[in-house]
């Protein structure tokens, strides 16, 4: 049984929060090469999207292995050192603690892991997103595993015909629940339609409870209690032969949807599917991006990656995302381009409110003109 662990962190941006520096990637690759040679890892690939570096690791140590999490911790410490030497932006931004205590969960990096009993052929897709949050996967996961207009296999592949089970997390209450589609689709949608509150953590095939998708569900802002950068999620999805086809999985990104997390983690924008070359975030620090690394697993080895969104057939989706970005930008500091007050990651609201609090009076009391005579608010 092989385990796939994808661990992603922003340990320094180049330039600003737009991309990663090649020296960080080189440092990660050098360290991971040693870990492959000494047998800790079966294989690895270093991925990039925006200002994040993702470690895609295969091994035989199971999910939440201390040895594997320690490797990732060492890599992120080292990339942080390189970032500090180069004075890159926000060096070590996603590492919330200086000490490793056996598990990276809760320390900052986004983590998705899956134990895979390798089939005769095992295609696996790894999605990396920047300038957004884990709930960004909710809509595409619904399309992939519950919408026959996206995934004809739900209707015509006998192995998928029984549907899928969605495991969701309530980020605010720290609770989990399961819903089975198609029977409970409407119940499921009530929750996952609120992606900043409920996120899909895993999807299982109903017939045999095989895990087919896993996401990172950390939410940095809730973890740190203050702004520490968006959580920039990752996702692993297995494909083909009784699971959705590669093209059914990718199709869920062909009509871009709106997600939270653009500029200052405080704006809504379209998520744009991009090839590796375009996996940077410059315009208004975005718009949010998603890249897809395709692999064939071969006895735990990662054969790949293939750059699956590089296909020119995704050009219309990119164009549409560009148009949606333009529309959203025209609204400037107004919702729904700006996130609601309680979801913004930067806010001066408490300061502004403290300064003007005495201007707010119960509406039924004396007219404003009398109470606020002489203040700027009256306009006199």
Q: Which residues are part of a known binding site for Mg(2+)? A: 10, 17, 51-52, 93, 130, 230-232
Instruction: Annotate each residue in 126-155 with x if it binds ligand F6R (CB under 6 A) or - if it does not, as one string.
Output: -----x------------------------
Among 143, 264, 318, 338, binds ligand F6R (CB under 6 A): 264
Report the nearest approach of ligand F6R to the CB of residue 364 (Å): 41
38 is catalytic: no
Residues of span 46-75 touching ligand F6R by CB under 6 A = none
Q: Which of 17, 21, 205, 238 binds Mg ion (CB under 5 A)?
A: 17
Does position 279 interact with ligand F6R (CB under 6 A)? The reply is no
Question: Who contacts 367 (Cβ-Cβ below 8 Å, separation ≥6)?
Answer: none
Rounded to whole angstroms, the Cα distance separating 15 from 356 reads 37
Task: Count CB neighbours of 376 within 10 A.
Answer: 8
Candidate list 162, 170, 180, 227, residue with the active-site label: 227
The DSSP annotation for 221-247 comes to HHHHSS-------EEEEE-SSSS--HH
Q: Give the whole-angstrom CA distance, residue 317 versus residue 140.
A: 14
Nearer to ligand F6R, 28 or 263 (CB): 263
Q: Is 10 a catalytic residue?
A: yes
Closest listed residue to residue 164, CA positions, set 182, 149, 151, 177: 182
Cβ 333 vs Cβ 348: under 8 Å: no
Q: Which does 52 bind (CB under 5 to 8 A by kind): ligand F6R, Mg ion, none?
A: Mg ion
Q: SS3 of 31, please? A: helix
Under the binding rule (CB under 5 A), the answer on residue 13 touching Mg ion is: yes
* 200-259 residues near ligand F6R, rule: CB under 6 A: 229-230
How many positions of this chain bind ligand F6R (CB under 6 A)?
10
In the complex with ligand F6R, the residue whose CB is nearer, 123 or 135, is 135
DSSP-derived pairing of the beta strands 198-205 and 211-215? antiparallel
Does residue 50 touch Mg ion according to CB under 5 A?
yes
Q: Which of 46, 236, 263, 339 binds ligand F6R (CB under 6 A)?
A: 263
Active-site residue flag, 87: no
DSSP track, 88-146: -BTTTTT---S---S--TTSS-EEEEEEE---SSEEEEEEEEESS-GGGGHHHHHHHHH
CB 43, CB 129: distance < 8 Å = no
Look up residue 298 and give its two tokens: 């071969």
Query: If contact means CB under 5 to 8 A according to the sort of partner, which of ligand F6R, Mg ion, none does residue 219 touch?
Result: none
Among 113, 122, 130, 345, binds Mg ion (CB under 5 A): 130
**Per the residue annotation, which of 8, 35, 219, 230 is the catalytic one?**
230
* Nearest one of 279, 235, 277 to 52, comparing CA atoms: 279
Catalytic machinery residues: 10, 227, 230
Would you tell me which residues interact with ligand F6R (CB under 6 A)?
16-17, 90, 131, 229-230, 263-265, 285
């Amino acid at each position: 049984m092989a385990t796939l662990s994808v661990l992603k962190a922003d340990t320094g941006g180049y330039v600003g929060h737009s991309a990663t520096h090649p020296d960080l990637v080189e440092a990660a690759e050098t360290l991971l090469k040693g870990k492959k040679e000494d047998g800790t890892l079966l294989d690895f690939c270093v991925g990039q999207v925006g200002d994040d570096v993702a470690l895609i690791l295969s091994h035989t140590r199971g999910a939440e292995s201390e040895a594997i999490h320690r490797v990732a911790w060492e890599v992120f410490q080292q990339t942080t050192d390189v970032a500090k030497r180069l004075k890159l932006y926000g060096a070590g931004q996603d590492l919330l603690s200086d000490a490793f205590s056996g598990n990276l969960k809760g320390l900052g990096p986004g983590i998705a892991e899956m134990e895979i009993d390798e089939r005769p052929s095992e295609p696996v897709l790894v999605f990396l997103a920047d300038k957004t949050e884990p709930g960004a996967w909710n809509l595409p996961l619904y399309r992939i595993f519950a919408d026959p207009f996206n995934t004809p296999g739900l209707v015509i592949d006998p192995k998928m015909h029984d549907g899928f089970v969605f495991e969701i997390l309530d980020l605010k209450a720290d609770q989990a629940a399961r819903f089975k589609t198609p029977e409970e689709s409407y119940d499921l949608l009530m929750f996952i339609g609120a992606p900043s509150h409920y996120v899909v953590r895993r999807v299982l095939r109903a017939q045999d409870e095989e895990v087919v998708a896993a996401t990172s569900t950390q939410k940095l802002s809730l973890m740190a209690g203050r702004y520490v950068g968006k959580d920039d999620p990752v996702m692993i999805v297995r494909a083909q032969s009784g699971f959705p086809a590669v093209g059914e999985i990718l199709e869920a990104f062909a009509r871009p949807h709106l997600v939270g997390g653009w500029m200052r983690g405080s704006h809504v924008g379209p998520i744009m599917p991009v090839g590796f070359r375009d996996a940077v975030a410059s315009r208004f620090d975005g718009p949010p991006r998603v890249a897809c690394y395709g692999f064939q697993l071969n006895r735990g080895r990662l054969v790949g990656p293939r750059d699956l969104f590089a296909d020119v057939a995704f050009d219309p989706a990119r164009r549409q995302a560009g148009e949606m970005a333009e529309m959203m930008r025209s609204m400037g500091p107004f919702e729904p381009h700006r996130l609601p007050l309680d979801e913004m990651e930067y806010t001066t609201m408490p300061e502004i409110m403290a300064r003007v609090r005495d201007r707010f009076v119960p509406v039924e009391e004396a007219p404003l003109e009398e109470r606020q005579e002489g203040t700027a608010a009256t306009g006199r």
